[in-house]
């Protein structure tokens, strides 16, 4: 089966270059995705450009009604969407349903467009003068998305972009493109006119064609940090607005006074859910004090015996395979390097065998103790089901460790001490903070984004920041003089003095 593009409301495929799409549980190529050439990307941008003048003039309330319908279609077709996610990404149905629900919440937020785009008005800023600010659409905008959330991350972007009056070109991950394409088709079925939302599948060539086209006014990117950094540099060099969200290394501090059983169950889900392939995955537990660390490792080791790894079809599984064979081998390499550099492998996921899925790209849950900040496994984003424990003596040392790490996406503290928690939240150099909450992914009506090398750009994804990102402010100052009132010429700066 071949997966093409969605341009101007039509499924198209130039049929030149393809890449295999795998079912990672089977370890087999099951489909092929078309890799768009610059000419195909050009067609998508032209379709978006042509649709823009009419679309921007449709009242926001009518654009929002399409989003209401889109939400209903996403819910109606949730089983199919989760199946597509499972087949190509590998995440278990219950986790795919969570991804979809988080995406739907962004569509719900987009339904508030008439309220969000209301603007600001001041009457009588001067004699007979009124002034208002309005938020106008940018034109053609683009989104480039990662493999790990093939539905949720596109839904962070295009609903808000189009409801603000823009036309959109989406470039999903080439590793699991079907679910992204399918939800775009549902958005058209909901009533988006042809050309308002286009999908081009492909790789770097397609991305480069988007970045270099002057008709694309803004780019939202989510993916790994090296690519995010390069996309931000290129897009802004071409004069585009850009937000580029990158990788992460999320630490949880476990304080001596924490409810340890709660911390263990929360850590398990946040470290191993979705095979650790979440940018908010908790991959480092920083235990304060050796007795906390000993108890934590002991309880984690016991609890990990209940983890069940397998294919997406069995909802009793905790998590599925990782995305590719290369990624599986890379994760194994990180475990081996931690071992070589002196860490202690408490639970080793390298030897996992899943009956019936012997060729699948599985990695079992892995727990590594006595990890130190100089180890390469500590520095890198492993993006797999690997939880590393670092031991420190004080909360200050734990916070310094987090602040010194190049990434600053998410973090969390487990404690019963409100003063410590407040100090942590106030001072830690990380964009999204949890207090006894392991995955502090903001809800749709807040915005999502990390600090340091986890985000390049000024505005975060979705929520209120998305309204600002996908619009430009225009401020109009207007005078309708009252009868007989005329102002003379003034060469001074106008003031209200
Ligand atoms: P990736 O950077 O490999 O790919 C992301 C997108 O960029 C894909 O669409 C891909 O086709 C494209 N791409 C890849 N290489 C490119 C290049 N050289 N030039 C131009 N485009 C290129 O990321 P991935 O492996 O798909 O996703 C995993 C990464 O995404 C992890 O690092 C994870 O932390 C990060 N992520 C971050 C967030 C966040 O919100 N900060 C959310 C999800 C994932």
pLDDT tens digits for 374-390? 999 999 999 999 999 99
**Which two three-digit tokens encode residue 230?**
């390069």
Kindly state whether residue 70 falls inside one of the protein's structural domains.
Answer: yes
The domain that contains 337 carries what CATH number? 3.40.309.10
The reply to whether 116 and 227 lie within a common domain is yes
Closest CA to 232 of 455, 408, 448, 456: 456
402 lies in some domain: yes
Q: Whole-angstrom Cα distance, residue 19 to residue 38? A: 16
324 shares a domain with 184: no
- Is 161 found in the same domain as 272? no
Structure tokens at 388: 């590393």
127 vs 211 pLDDT, higher one: 211
How far apart, in whole angstroms, are the C-alpha atoms of residue 133 and residue 47?
30
154 and 175 share one domain: yes
- Predicted confidence (pLDDT) per residue in 142-173, tens digit: 999 999 999 999 999 999 999 999 999 999 99
Q: Based on the domain organization, do 254 and 337 belong to the same domain?
A: yes
Q: Is residue 495 in some structural domain?
A: no
CB of 459 closer than 8 Å to CB of 243: yes
Same domain, 270 and 393: yes
Separation in Å, CA 243 to CA 22, 137, 279, 448:
29, 17, 16, 11
Containing domain of residue 313, as a range? Answer: 250-435
What is the pLDDT of the chain when averaged over all its residues? Answer: 97
Q: Is residue 115 part of a domain?
A: yes
Judgement on whether residues 34 and 156 belong to the same structural domain of the protein: yes
Instruction: Decide if 279 is catalytic.
Output: yes
CA of 147 to the centre of ligand 1 (A): 7
- CA atoms within 13 A of residue 57's CA, in its CB half-sphere: 3
Strands 386-392 and 366-369: parallel
Nearest CA to ligand 1 atom 11: 203
Q: Answer yes or no: is pLDDT of 484 > 80.
A: no
Rounded CA separation 281/275 (Å): 9
- The answer to whether residue 461 scores a pLDDT higher than 80 is yes
Q: What's the total number of domains in the chain?
A: 2
**Contact criterion met (CB below 8 Å) for 380 and 317:** no
Residues 344 and 231 in one domain: no
Domain assignment present for residue 111? The answer is yes
How many angstroms separate the CA atoms of 428 and 400, rounded?
9
Q: State the pLDDT confidence band at 497, using cuts at 50, 70 and 90.
A: confident
Cβ neighbour number for residue 126 with a 10 Å cutoff: 13
* 123 found inside a domain: yes
Ligand 1 mutation pick, 34, 146, 250, 379, max ligand atoms within 8 A of CB: 146
For the Cβ of 248 lying below 6 angstroms from any atom of ligand 1, the answer is: yes
Q: 197: closest CA among 47, 319, 357?
A: 47
The tokens describing 147, both together, are 């493999």
Model confidence pLDDT, tens digit, residues 179-198: 999 999 999 999 999 999 99
**Whether residue 204 has its Cβ less than 6 Å from ligand 1:** yes
The partner residues of 142 in beta bridges, in order of sequence, read: 169, 219
Q: Are residues 187 and 94 in the same domain?
A: yes
**Does the model's pTM come out above 0.85?**
yes
19 and 127, same domain (yes or no)? yes
Residue 279 beta carbon below 6 angstroms from any ligand 1 atom = yes
| 207 and 193 in a common domain | yes
420 lies in the same domain as 469 = no
What does DSSP assign to residue 186? H
């Amino acid at each position: 089966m071949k997966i093409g593009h969605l341009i101007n409301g039509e499924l198209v495929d130039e049929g030149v270059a393809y890449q295999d799409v795998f079912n990672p549980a089977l370890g087999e190529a099951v489909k092929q995705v078309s890799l768009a050439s610059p000419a195909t990307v050009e067609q998508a941008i032209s379709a978006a450009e042509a649709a823009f003048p009419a679309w921007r003039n449709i009242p926001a309330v009518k654009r929002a009604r399409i989003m209401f319908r889109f939400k209903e279609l996403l819910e109606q077709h949730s089983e199919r969407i989760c199946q597509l996610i499972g087949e190509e990404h590998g995440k278990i149905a219950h986790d795919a349903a969570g991804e979809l629900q988080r995406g739907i919440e962004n569509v719900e937020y987009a339904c508030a467009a008439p309220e969000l785009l209301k603007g600001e008005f001041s009457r009588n800023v001067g004699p007979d003068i009124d002034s208002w600010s309005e938020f106008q659409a940018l034109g053609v905008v683009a989104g480039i998305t990662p493999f790990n959330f093939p539905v949720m991350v596109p839904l962070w972007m295009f609903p808000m972009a189009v409801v603000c009056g823009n036309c959109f070109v989406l470039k999903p991950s080439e590793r699991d493109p079907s679910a992204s394409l399918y939800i775009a088709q549902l958005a058209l079925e909901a009533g988006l006119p042809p050309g308002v939302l286009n999908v081009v599948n492909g790789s770097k060539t397609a991305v480069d064609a988007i970045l270099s086209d002057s008709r694309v006014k803004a780019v939202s990117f989510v993916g790994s940090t090296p690519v995010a950094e390069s996309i931000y540099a290129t897009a802004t060099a071409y004069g585009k607005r850009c937000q580029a969200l990158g990788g992460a290394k999320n630490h949880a501090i476990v304080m001596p006074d924490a409810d340890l059983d709660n911390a263990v169950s929360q850590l398990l889900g946040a470290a191993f859910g979705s095979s650790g392939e979440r940018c908010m995955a908790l991959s480092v537990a920083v235990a304060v004090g050796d007795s906390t660390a000993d108890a934590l490792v002991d309880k984690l080791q016991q609890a990990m015996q209940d983890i069940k790894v397998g294919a997406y079809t069995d909802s009793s599984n905790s998590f599925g395979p990782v995305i590719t064979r290369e990624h599986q081998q890379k994760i194994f390499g990180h475990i081996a390097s931690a071992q070589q550099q002196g860490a202690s492998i408490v639970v080793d996921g390298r030897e996992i065998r899943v009956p019936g899925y012997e060729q699948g790209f599985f990695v079992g849950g892995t727990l590594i103790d006595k990890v130190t900040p100089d180890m390469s496994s500590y520095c890198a984003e492993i993006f797999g089901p690997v939880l590393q424990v670092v031991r420190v003596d004080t909360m200050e040392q734990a916070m310094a460790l987090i602040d010194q790490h190049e990434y600053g996406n998410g973090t969390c503290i487990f404690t019963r001490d409100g003063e410590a928690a407040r100090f942590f939240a106030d001072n830690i150099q990380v964009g999204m903070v949890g207090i006894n909450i392991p995955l502090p992914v903001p809800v749709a009506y807040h915005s999502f984004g990390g600090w340091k090398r986890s985000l390049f750009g000024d505005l975060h994804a979705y929520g209120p920041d998305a309204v600002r990102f996908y619009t430009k402010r225009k401020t109009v100052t207007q005078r309708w003089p009252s009868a007989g009132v005329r102002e003379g010429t003034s060469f001074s700066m106008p003031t209200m003095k």
